[in-house]
Each structure stands twice: as structure tokens, then as C-alpha cells.
Amino acid sequence: MKKILLFAKHGQLGHELQRTLAPLGEVIAMDHPEVDFTNPDQICERIHEMKPACLINPAAYTAVDKAESEQELAYMINRDAVDALAKTAAELRIPFIHYSTDYVYDGRKGSPYVETDAANPLNVYGKSKLEGDLAVLDAGGAGLILRTSWVYSMRQGGFVTKVLQWAREQEVMRVVDDQVSGPTSARLLAEVTALILAKAGDDPYSWLGEKAGVYHCAGGGSCSRYEWAKAVLDLDPHKEEQIVRVIERAKSSEFPVPAERPMISVLNNDKLAHTFGLRLPPWDAGLALTIGD
């Protein structure tokens, strides 16, 4: 591929994608203020100017609780901008990879979600992301949606880095044990993305067009946030810095927040494996790889 246009280069996934996509072609990575996701027309102009061979979009409004009071902004970034991207990509015959979330589901199924399960988001963030997914599907073309869950890295203030910080500040840590999903390493998610594109061959638009649609791509297996936090502390390469003595189980109801979360939002990744021959490792193996880097 001659040019790969990547948005949100400063985000945790965008940062990893710059590295994993580099062997496939020239990566043109952009972020605010070079591109403004509250201005869909400007985004389309950028794509027309660049004429990339592929378009990758990990950009999103991800402040789940804040979205409840910033609905217009959440929909502008997660729906309207994505709609513009998808339509422009289809018009110019550019393959388009977009990322979505387990929060499009309500968490009440009781078993891992497959791509054909009905979406029923509980909060504005999930609703706006679902609208973006539907926009990609409606645009046609070669649009691939990778739905993932609990994405983390070691370079930004996500759950893993927060747990490590809390362990250095608190002797008693309370973590909810009733939210369950599959933690996903941003680095491994980026590597799967690059491997998909590497399989696309000389005509990525036609190849991906035949496979267009929604795919789940999350860390294998599942755990509660409590179990995840315990694993993080066990893998901490600097345990001597920890002052935490005990981790206590808690319920989500003990920590009131503006946005309701799905309780059990585990994703079944079989479709990705059957279509592309790719699957992320179990969540705990991915965590060990990420913390060990």
C-alpha cells in the first residue's frame, strides 16, 4: 500500500497502529488540530487531498460518563464524522477499518455476544458508537468494523495504569467484581489490524469488500475488573513500590456514575478467526505481554 491514512495518532490505539502499519506502506498519521472530528467536511477534504490506499479510524469520543452531558459532541465525533469517513471511503473505493465497542450491547445476554446479536446500548457513548457502526454499514464499500472491549496500554491513563498508580497510593483498594468482559491490549489489537491488511494483497478494496461488516476482536476469555486488577498487581515489574495490602471486592452500585455500564459484555471472536485466521490471545497472556514490554 502506498499510503495509509491514520487518524487519532495520539490515542493509545493510534500510537500502536503507527508502529504496526509501518511495514505495509507510508503511514500518514493525523490528530487534532491537523484534522477536526467536529468538522466532517474538513475530514472529507483531507481524504480527497491524500487519496490514501487505506483509511484507519481509531478516533472516538470515549469519555463514557461525560458523554451523558455532552451528547451533541459525542454524536458529532462517534456518528457524524464516521458517517462522512465511510461515505467518502466508499466513494473513492478506499478500504476503511473502524473500531467499535462492547458498550453497544446491554450486558444482559448471559453468554458471549456474537456479531448477529441485537445491540441495545445503555448509555450515550454506546448509542453514539452504534450509530457510527450503522453509518459504516450503510455506506457500503469495503468497511470493516472491529468491535473490541476494555482496551488498555501502558502509556495512557486507562485501567491498567490507574491500578498501578492506586497500588502506590492506597493500602486498601476496592474494585468492582460485577463488570465482566475481555481486556484487550492496544498493541495486540493494532497487530491484528496490520495482519488483516497484510492479507489483503494487491487489491485490498475488493478483498476487504467481500468481507465487509462487523467483527469482534477482543482479548480471549473474560474476567471481572477485580480479577483484572489482581492480575495487574501480580505482573507489576516493580512490586516493591506497592503499598497496597489488600484488594477488596465491590459492587458497581457502590460507585455511582452518570452512565450505566453493561455488566457482562464478553465478545465471541470466532467470526474473526474463521474469516481471517486471526485471534487475540487470552486476556491474561496479552496482559503479561503488554506489562512485560
* Contact (CB, 8 A) for 263 and 222: no
SS3 of the chain: CCEEEECCCCCHHHHHHHHHHHHHCEEEECCCCCCCCCCHHHHHHHHHHHCCCEEEECCCCCCCCHHHCCHHHHHHHHHHHHHHHHHHHHHCCCCEEEEEEHHHCCCCCCCCECCCCCCCCCCHHHHHHHHHHHHHHHHCCCEEEEEECCEECCCCCCHHHHHHHHCCCCCEEEEECCCEECCEEHHHHHHHHHHHHHCCCCCHHHHHHCCCEEEECCCECCEEHHHHHHHHHHHCCCHHHCCCCEEEEECHHHCCCCCCCCCECCECCHHHHHHHCCCCCEHHHHHHHHHHC
pLDDT tens for the chain, 293 residues long, are 689 999 999 999 999 999 999 999 999 999 888 888 999 899 999 899 989 999 999 999 999 999 999 999 999 999 999 999 999 999 999 999 999 999 999 999 999 999 999 999 999 999 999 999 999 999 999 999 999 999 999 987 689 999 999 999 999 999 999 999 999 999 999 999 999 999 998 889 999 999 999 999 999 999 999 999 999 999 999 999 999 999 999 999 999 999 999 999 999 999 999 999 999 999 999 999 999 86
- In the block, cell 474463521 appears at 274
To the question of domain 3-157+184-221+265-286 being in CATH 3.30.70.3170, the answer is no
> How does the average pLDDT of the chain come out, rounded?
95
Model confidence pLDDT, tens digit, residues 209-243: 999 999 999 999 999 999 999 999 999 999 999 99
* pTM greater than 0.85: yes
The catalytic position among 105, 125, 152, 215 is 125
Q: What are the residue boundaries of the structural domains of the chain, listed by start?
A: 3-157+184-221+265-286
Among 24, 46, 25, 18, residue whose Cα is nearest residue 34: 46
Give the per-residue pLDDT at 32.
85
125 is catalytic: yes
Model confidence pLDDT, tens digit, residues 124-144: 999 999 999 999 999 999 999
